[in-house]
């Protein structure tokens, strides 16, 4: 496991959800997670563009827009170095599947959210991203080596 501390961005327009997420992360390990909060879609997009976080938690409903739209926008802008986890007030299989197809690392229902589940989702998302990056680097190195051998 890659050790923290981790910078987590929560994009959610509900202060109660922010306070709950902050409490869950502090209960897990207050030294490991530093939570920042973007209260609007626009503020979330600006923060995502800075690429200063290790993981992104996106609420499904962000005012008149959705976290799924924000995820699509981030992926269309060339993907991202950090994983995205979608949070929602209710489980919806279609939204879940669409989020995963779009690039979300996980999909969590807030009413069922406990500290250990959130920590596990973050840990798995970070580990998977690390493994994907290592595989991508090995593939690029192999392609470079093969190109050099051909010359």
Collect all residues with Cβ–Cβ distance below 8 Å to 2 and sequence separation of at least 6: 126, 127, 130
Give this prediction's pTM: 0.85
**Which residues make beta-bridge pairs with 57?**
10, 85
> 86: alpha, beta or left, given left = phi > 0 and alpha = psi -120 to 50?
beta
Tell me, what's the pLDDT at 6? 93
Q: Which helix (H) or strand (E) covers residue 50, if one does?
A: helix 41-50
Residue 81, classed as helix, strand or coil, is: coil
Q: How far apart are CA 40 and CA 73, in angstroms?
A: 15
**Which residues make beta-bridge pairs with 11?**
38, 58
pLDDT tens digits, one per residue of 83-110: 999 998 877 788 888 888 988 999 999 8
């Amino acid at each position: 496991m890659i050790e923290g501390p981790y910078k987590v961005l929560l994009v959610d327009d509900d202060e109660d959800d922010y306070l709950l997420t902050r409490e869950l992360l502090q209960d897990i390990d207050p030294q490991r997670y530093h939570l920042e909060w973007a209260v609007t879609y626009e503020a979330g997009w600006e923060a995502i563009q800075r690429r200063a976080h290790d993981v992104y938690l996106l609420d499904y409903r962000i005012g008149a827009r959705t976290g799924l739209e924000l995820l699509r926008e981030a992926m269309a802008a060339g993907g991202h170095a950090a994983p995205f986890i979608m949070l929602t007030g209710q489980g919806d299989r279609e939204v879940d599947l669409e989020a995963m197809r779009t690039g979300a690392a996980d999909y969590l229902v807030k009413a069922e959210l406990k500290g250990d589940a959130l920590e596990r989702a973050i840990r798995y998302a970070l580990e998977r991203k690390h493994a994907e990056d290592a595989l991508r680097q090995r593939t690029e190195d192999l392609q470079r080596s093969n190109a050099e051998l051909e010359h």
